[in-house]
Every structure is written in structure tokens, then in C-alpha cells.
């Protein structure tokens, strides 16, 4: 038996592969390498001692999926594959809808034909939109503020409708808050192409001298220091949340959505100061205008993950930022 990770050489997927292999699961990765590298497969082997089975495949391609299911006994699928840049989704909506929806539909159609009924989906806190009060709870109304967020919301609705029509399915939407950091080995981590959209990779590149300074997108939000507050979660904690979801799905049915966060928010300036303190580096910054679409505060109510999965995040900000810097130094040294 094995678990198929679509997009499994990506940032979250690779850390989840490590977690699953260490827990004794067989892992099969399907990835088109459009935003990751095949070398990640061997790095997963270096960390765990076991190499996942790897297929270079676009999971919109049903024939490729049929081959993977024919050659492996897939008991469950964790679906990471998808485009995820918020800004790009605004300028290229058709590309995002085509890629993200086709990928999810192709995977679910193949699963249904092959009698594989456990589907875990990489969703996002972005589905809580702009109008809910923090901390965000899974039963709050969903909405989207950009095409990327809309694809996440639409795929959750597809999962709900599938489970209504076919009660044999178990579909779990894992709503990530802000994943940061890297495996302590420094062998795998986030490798953004081009200018990083997200805060921590940008801070890492300022620290390594690739970027001159951090631009803080607004300091006039209704938060303690005026800068945006987010729920940062160590990527290895997030990976452990996927393992917990895998165990849950082995004897459950129906659709459920679960937050994967810490329940604690930190502001941009708190992140800057913590990174400087933990790593002994200076992060020059400049306050700049707000980024369109950003909300003031976003952090999770973590009750459901604790009650349903028996899981909660364990690592603190120091671990996140130390591991993030360790990865950045390893990455830039090996380039």
C-alpha cells in the first residue's frame, strides 16, 4: 500500500513525504517539476533512508494517473499539485482555473474509477476571506479575494459534493495558515522562483544579501504595531498534521475541513525582530504601502485539529526562523 503525493517534490509535499516515510508509509510522488526539482527525491531519501517512487507527471493527464494507479497500490492521495501565487492568479485567472481545477478533477475521477476513496487536499486559510473575525474557525463562511483563493474554495466544494454523492469517500481539506521554516537537516525547504511573494523567504534573502531590504507592506493596520499579523507554523508541524489526517481518513467518511495553524499570530515587525535575534543578522526594512488584498490579521482556531486528529503544532518561532536561516545558508552555499 502507498500514499500518492501529487506535487510531492514541492515545499509542503516534500516535508510530508519525509513524515509519511518515517511513519512507515510507502510514498509515491507525481510532480511535473514546474515549480520544484527532481533532486528533492534523493534528498528525501537522504533524510529518511528510503526513496519515494517518483513519476514526472502532469496530474491533469489522466493517462499518466492511470499508469501510476496501475503500477502502485494507492490507498490514499494527498493533493498538493497546483499553482499558488496570489498575484499571478490575478493577472492569469484562466491559467489558474484550468490548472488547479483540472488537476483536482483528474485526480478525483481516477480515484473514483480505481476505488481509492481517501483524498486529503492542500487548502488554505485564504478561504476565510476578508469578513470573518479572528481566530478563524472551520464553520465560518468562506469567500475568496483572488482567483488562487477561488480555486481552493471551488475544490473544497467539489469535495463536499463528491462526498454527498458517494458516501464511501473521505475528503479532508487541510487549511494551511502560514507555513515557514525547513527540515532541520537543511536538505529540503522552500525554493521560491524569482522575487519571493511571502514574508519569510524574502527576509531570508535579505539576510543572505540577495535582497537589499525588506519592504513592510503597511504599518497602519488595526494590529498592535500596525503591521500584518499572521499564524506562522513550522513546515514540519504542518507535515505532521498531514500524517494525522492520513490516520483520521483510514476509518472516517464524508467531508471535513481542518485548520493547520498554531493559534498564535505574529506581526511582520515581530517576525523581523525574532529573525534578527535568533540568527544574529540585521534585516534592514522600509515601510511601504499596503499590498492589495491583504487583511490585517489571520490566525487559526486550533480546537478541531486537536479534537479530531489529536494533533497540535509543537514548534515555536525560534525553531521556525532558525531552521529557515539554516536552509537559506545551505541553499545559497550549494548554488
Active site residues: 148
124 contributes a contact to ligand WQD by CB under 6 A: yes
How far lies 332's CA from each of 131, 177, 185, 282, 329, in Å?
40, 26, 15, 18, 5
How far lies 143's CA from each of 151, 178, 267, 319, in Å?
11, 18, 24, 33
- What is the C-alpha separation between 279 and 322, in angstroms, rounded? 6
CB of 272 to ligand WQD, least distance (A): 9
CB of 287 to ligand WQD, least distance (A): 9
- What is the C-alpha separation between 41 and 63, in angstroms, rounded? 23
Nearer to ligand WQD, 117 or 122 (CB): 122
Matching residue, cell 509542503: 12
CB of 170 to ligand WQD, least distance (A): 23
CA angle 25, 178, 332 (to 5 degrees): 80
- What is the C-alpha separation between 28 and 119, in angstroms, rounded? 14
199 contributes a contact to ligand WQD by CB under 6 A: yes
x/- binding map, residues 252-271, to ligand WQD, per CB under 6 A?
A: ----------------x---
Q: Binding-site residue total for ligand WQD (CB under 6 A)?
A: 19
132 contributes a contact to ligand WQD by CB under 6 A: no
Q: Longest C-alpha distance within the chain, in Å?
A: 55
Judged by CB under 6 A, the residue of 28, 86, 172, 320 near ligand WQD is 86
- What is the C-alpha separation between 107 and 99, in angstroms, rounded? 12
Nearer to ligand WQD, 65 or 298 (CB): 298
What is the per-residue DSSP string for 210-236?
A: SSS-EEEE-S-SSSTTSS-EE-EEEHH
294 contributes a contact to ligand WQD by CB under 6 A: yes
Judged by CB under 6 A, the residue of 56, 277, 282, 291 near ligand WQD is 291
Near ligand WQD in 29-58, by CB under 6 A: none
Q: Which residue is nearest to ligand WQD (CB)?
A: 228
User: Taking each helix axis from N to C terminus, what angle separates 11-22 and 235-249, rounded to the nearest 10 degrees?
Assistant: 60
175 contributes a contact to ligand WQD by CB under 6 A: no
Judged by CB under 6 A, the residue of 181, 186, 189, 228 near ligand WQD is 228
Interface residues with ligand WQD (CB under 6 A) are: 84, 86, 124, 126, 178, 197-199, 202, 214-217, 228, 230, 268, 291, 294, 298
Amino acid at each position: 500500500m502507498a500514499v500518492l503525493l501529487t506535487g510531492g517534490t514541492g515545499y509542503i509535499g516534500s516535508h510530508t513525504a519525509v513524515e509519511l516515510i518515517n511513519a512507515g508509509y510507502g510514498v509515491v510522488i507525481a510532480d511535473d517539476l514546474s515549480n520544484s526539482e527532481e533532486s528533492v527525491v534523493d534528498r528525501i531519501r537522504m533524510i529518511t533512508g528510503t526513496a519515494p517512487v517518483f513519476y514526472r507527471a502532469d496530474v491533469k493527464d489522466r493517462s499518466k494517473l492511470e499508469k501510476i494507479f496501475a503500477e502502485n497500490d494507492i490507498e490514499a492521495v494527498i493533493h498538493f499539485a497546483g499553482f499558488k501565487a496570489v498575484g499571478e492568479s490575478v493577472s492569469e485567472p484562466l491559467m489558474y482555473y484550468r490548472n488547479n481545477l483540472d488537476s483536482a478533477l483528474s485526480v478525483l475521477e481516477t480515484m473514483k474509477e480505481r476505488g481509492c476513496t481517501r483524498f486529503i487536499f492542500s487548502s488554505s486559510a485564504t478561504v476565510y476571506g476578508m469578513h470573518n473575525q479572528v481566530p478563524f474557525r472551520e464553520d465560518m463562511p468562506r469567500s475568496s479575494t483572488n482567483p488562487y483563493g477561488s480555486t481552493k474554495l471551488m475544490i473544497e466544494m467539489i469535495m463536499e459534493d463528491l462526498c454527498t454523492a458517494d458516501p464511501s469517500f473521505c475528503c479532508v481539506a487541510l487549511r494551511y495558515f502560514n507555513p515557514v521554516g525547513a527540515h532541520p537537516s537543511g536538505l529540503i525547504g522552500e525554493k521560491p522562483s524569482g522575487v519571493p511573494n511571502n514574508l519569510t523567504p524574502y527576509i531570508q534573502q535579505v539576510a543572505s544579501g540577495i535582497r537589499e531590504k525588506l519592504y513592510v507592506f503597511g504599518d497602519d493596520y488595526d494590529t498592535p504595531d500596525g503591521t500584518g499579523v499572521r499564524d506562522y507554523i513550522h513546515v514540519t508541524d504542518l507535515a505532521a498534521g498531514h500524517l494525522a489526517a492520513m490516520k483520521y481518513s483510514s476509518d472516517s467518511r464524508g467531508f471535513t475541513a481542518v485548520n493547520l495553524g498554531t493559534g498564535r499570530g505574529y506581526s511582520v515587525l515581530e517576525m523581523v525582530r525574532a529573525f534578527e535575534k535568533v540568527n544574529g543578522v540585521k534585516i534592514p526594512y522600509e515601510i511601504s504601502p499596503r499590498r492589495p488584498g491583504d487583511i490585517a490579521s489571520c490566525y487559526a482556531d486550533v480546537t478541531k485539529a486537536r479534537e479530531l486528529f489529536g494533533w497540535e503544532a509543537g514548534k515555536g518561532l525560534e525553531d521556525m526562523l532558525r531552521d529557515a536561516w539554516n536552509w537559506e545558508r545551505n541553499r545559497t552555499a550549494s548554488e
